[in-house]
Amino acid sequence: MAVTHRIAVRVAEQYGADADTVIWLLKEAEAERFRKVPSERVTAAIVIRANGDADRLFRAIKEMQIDWRDLFMSAQLGHADWRADLDDAFGPRDWLDRLLFLPSDHIAGYGSLGDLIEEVDPPQLDPAEFARAVTQRLRRSPELIDEWQRFCHDNPVDGYADFVIREAEDVLKFLGGLLRQ
Protein backbone atom coordinates (compact mmCIF):
# COMPACT_ATOMS: atom_id res chain seq x y z
CA MET A 1 0.00 0.00 0.00
CA ALA A 2 1.20 3.47 -0.77
CA VAL A 3 2.06 4.45 2.76
CA THR A 4 5.62 5.39 3.54
CA HIS A 5 7.58 3.00 5.69
CA ARG A 6 7.70 5.36 8.66
CA ILE A 7 3.92 5.88 8.62
CA ALA A 8 3.34 2.12 8.31
CA VAL A 9 5.58 1.54 11.34
CA ARG A 10 3.56 4.04 13.41
CA VAL A 11 0.25 2.50 12.32
CA ALA A 12 1.56 -0.95 13.27
CA GLU A 13 2.62 0.36 16.70
CA GLN A 14 -0.75 2.03 17.30
CA TYR A 15 -3.16 -0.52 15.83
CA GLY A 16 -1.31 -3.83 16.17
CA ALA A 17 -3.16 -6.68 14.43
CA ASP A 18 -5.54 -4.16 12.82
CA ALA A 19 -2.73 -2.21 11.13
CA ASP A 20 -3.33 -3.68 7.66
CA THR A 21 -7.02 -2.77 7.90
CA VAL A 22 -6.18 0.78 8.98
CA ILE A 23 -3.74 1.18 6.09
CA TRP A 24 -6.38 -0.16 3.70
CA LEU A 25 -8.91 2.36 5.07
CA LEU A 26 -6.43 5.20 4.64
CA LYS A 27 -5.61 4.12 1.11
CA GLU A 28 -9.25 3.78 0.07
CA ALA A 29 -10.37 7.08 1.63
CA GLU A 30 -7.47 9.00 0.13
CA ALA A 31 -7.85 7.42 -3.31
CA GLU A 32 -11.55 8.34 -3.29
CA ARG A 33 -10.77 11.93 -2.32
CA PHE A 34 -7.65 12.59 -4.42
CA ARG A 35 -7.92 10.00 -7.23
CA LYS A 36 -4.18 9.41 -6.88
CA VAL A 37 -1.58 8.54 -4.27
CA PRO A 38 -1.71 11.48 -1.88
CA SER A 39 1.34 13.06 -0.40
CA GLU A 40 2.66 11.63 2.84
CA ARG A 41 1.42 14.78 4.54
CA VAL A 42 -2.24 13.70 4.19
CA THR A 43 -1.68 10.25 5.65
CA ALA A 44 0.50 11.62 8.43
CA ALA A 45 -2.12 14.21 9.36
CA ILE A 46 -4.77 11.50 9.71
CA VAL A 47 -2.48 9.29 11.79
CA ILE A 48 -1.51 12.23 14.01
CA ARG A 49 -5.15 13.21 14.56
CA ALA A 50 -6.24 9.63 15.27
CA ASN A 51 -3.36 8.87 17.64
CA GLY A 52 -4.25 5.17 17.73
CA ASP A 53 -7.98 5.61 18.39
CA ALA A 54 -10.43 4.08 15.89
CA ASP A 55 -13.17 6.70 16.45
CA ARG A 56 -10.69 9.55 15.95
CA LEU A 57 -9.37 7.76 12.85
CA PHE A 58 -12.81 7.84 11.23
CA ARG A 59 -13.31 11.48 12.26
CA ALA A 60 -9.92 12.42 10.76
CA ILE A 61 -10.77 10.60 7.52
CA LYS A 62 -14.10 12.46 7.37
CA GLU A 63 -12.29 15.75 8.00
CA MET A 64 -9.89 14.96 5.13
CA GLN A 65 -12.79 14.20 2.81
CA ILE A 66 -14.58 17.45 3.67
CA ASP A 67 -11.54 19.76 3.54
CA TRP A 68 -8.00 18.42 3.72
CA ARG A 69 -6.68 21.89 4.58
CA ASP A 70 -8.63 21.82 7.84
CA LEU A 71 -7.08 18.43 8.56
CA PHE A 72 -3.60 19.92 8.08
CA MET A 73 -4.40 22.74 10.47
CA SER A 74 -5.86 20.47 13.15
CA ALA A 75 -2.85 18.11 12.89
CA GLN A 76 -0.57 21.18 13.08
CA LEU A 77 0.86 20.51 9.63
CA GLY A 78 -0.66 23.58 7.98
CA HIS A 79 2.54 25.63 7.85
CA ALA A 80 5.63 25.92 5.67
CA ASP A 81 7.88 23.82 7.93
CA TRP A 82 5.59 20.78 8.06
CA ARG A 83 8.28 18.43 6.67
CA ALA A 84 10.45 19.01 9.75
CA ASP A 85 7.45 18.28 11.95
CA LEU A 86 6.90 14.97 10.15
CA ASP A 87 10.54 14.05 10.73
CA ASP A 88 10.15 14.92 14.41
CA ALA A 89 6.93 12.91 14.74
CA PHE A 90 7.82 9.85 12.64
CA GLY A 91 11.61 9.88 12.25
CA PRO A 92 13.49 10.51 9.03
CA ARG A 93 12.13 9.17 5.77
CA ASP A 94 14.26 6.41 4.24
CA TRP A 95 15.89 7.00 0.86
CA LEU A 96 13.65 4.47 -0.88
CA ASP A 97 10.46 6.26 0.18
CA ARG A 98 11.98 9.59 -0.82
CA LEU A 99 12.71 8.16 -4.27
CA LEU A 100 9.51 6.20 -4.90
CA PHE A 101 7.17 8.92 -3.59
CA LEU A 102 8.77 11.66 -5.71
CA PRO A 103 5.82 11.82 -8.14
CA SER A 104 3.28 12.35 -5.38
CA ASP A 105 5.55 14.73 -3.46
CA HIS A 106 6.66 16.79 -6.45
CA ILE A 107 5.35 20.33 -6.62
CA ALA A 108 5.30 21.87 -10.08
CA GLY A 109 7.96 24.54 -10.39
CA TYR A 110 9.79 23.31 -7.27
CA GLY A 111 12.73 21.87 -9.15
CA SER A 112 13.76 19.51 -11.87
CA LEU A 113 13.43 15.77 -11.40
CA GLY A 114 17.21 15.50 -11.51
CA ASP A 115 17.53 17.98 -8.64
CA LEU A 116 14.89 16.11 -6.64
CA ILE A 117 16.66 12.78 -7.15
CA GLU A 118 19.95 14.36 -6.05
CA GLU A 119 18.20 15.40 -2.82
CA VAL A 120 17.17 11.75 -2.28
CA ASP A 121 20.86 10.80 -2.35
CA PRO A 122 20.35 7.03 -2.73
CA PRO A 123 23.12 4.92 -1.20
CA GLN A 124 25.78 3.45 -3.43
CA LEU A 125 24.24 0.03 -4.01
CA ASP A 126 25.16 -2.38 -6.74
CA PRO A 127 22.44 -2.57 -9.40
CA ALA A 128 21.11 -5.93 -8.15
CA GLU A 129 20.68 -4.60 -4.58
CA PHE A 130 19.01 -1.46 -5.89
CA ALA A 131 16.68 -3.56 -8.07
CA ARG A 132 15.73 -5.80 -5.14
CA ALA A 133 14.96 -2.83 -2.87
CA VAL A 134 12.87 -1.01 -5.49
CA THR A 135 11.06 -4.15 -6.63
CA GLN A 136 10.18 -5.22 -3.08
CA ARG A 137 8.70 -1.82 -2.23
CA LEU A 138 6.82 -1.52 -5.54
CA ARG A 139 5.28 -4.96 -5.07
CA ARG A 140 3.89 -3.77 -1.72
CA SER A 141 2.74 -0.45 -3.21
CA PRO A 142 1.77 -1.04 -6.86
CA GLU A 143 -0.23 2.21 -6.93
CA LEU A 144 3.12 4.03 -6.99
CA ILE A 145 3.65 2.58 -10.45
CA ASP A 146 0.68 4.55 -11.77
CA GLU A 147 2.02 7.71 -10.14
CA TRP A 148 5.40 7.27 -11.81
CA GLN A 149 3.82 6.55 -15.18
CA ARG A 150 1.64 9.68 -14.94
CA PHE A 151 4.55 11.75 -13.73
CA CYS A 152 6.92 10.56 -16.45
CA HIS A 153 4.33 11.17 -19.14
CA ASP A 154 4.85 14.88 -18.44
CA ASN A 155 8.51 14.78 -17.31
CA PRO A 156 11.09 12.82 -19.31
CA VAL A 157 13.39 10.88 -17.00
CA ASP A 158 16.65 9.00 -16.94
CA GLY A 159 19.05 7.57 -14.38
CA TYR A 160 17.44 6.28 -11.17
CA ALA A 161 13.98 7.43 -12.21
CA ASP A 162 14.23 5.62 -15.54
CA PHE A 163 15.20 2.46 -13.67
CA VAL A 164 12.21 2.84 -11.34
CA ILE A 165 9.87 3.12 -14.34
CA ARG A 166 11.34 0.05 -16.05
CA GLU A 167 11.17 -1.88 -12.79
CA ALA A 168 7.63 -0.65 -12.17
CA GLU A 169 6.53 -1.94 -15.55
CA ASP A 170 8.08 -5.34 -14.79
CA VAL A 171 6.33 -5.44 -11.40
CA LEU A 172 3.04 -4.48 -13.02
CA LYS A 173 3.38 -7.34 -15.53
CA PHE A 174 4.28 -9.73 -12.70
CA LEU A 175 1.28 -8.65 -10.62
CA GLY A 176 -1.00 -8.89 -13.64
CA GLY A 177 0.20 -12.44 -14.21
CA LEU A 178 -0.53 -13.36 -10.61
CA LEU A 179 -4.01 -11.86 -10.79
CA ARG A 180 -4.82 -13.82 -13.96
CA GLN A 181 -3.86 -17.17 -12.33
pLDDT tops 80 at residue 178: no
Question: How confident is the model at residue 175, as a pLDDT?
Answer: 44
81 phi-psi bin (left φ>0, alpha ψ -120 to 50, beta other): alpha
b/e map of 124-154 (b: 16 or more CB within 10 Å)? eeeeeebeebbbebbeebbebbebbeebbee
Q: How confident is the model at residue 88, as a pLDDT? A: 92
**pLDDT greater than 70 at residue 44:** yes
At 63-119, the pLDDT tens digits run: 999 998 999 999 999 998 898 999 999 998 888 888 777 777 766 555 666 666 677
Q: Could you report the per-residue pLDDT of 149-177, keeping only the tens digit for each?
A: 676 665 555 555 566 666 666 555 554 45
- Predicted confidence (pLDDT) at residue 20 exceeds the cutoff of 70: yes
In the predicted structure, residue 18 carries a pLDDT above the cut 80: yes
136-142 mean pLDDT: 76
Task: Flag whether pLDDT at 179 surpasses 50.
Answer: no
> Model pTM?
0.69
pLDDT at residue 1 above 50? no
Measured CA to CA, the distance from residue 53 to residue 111 in angstroms comes to 38
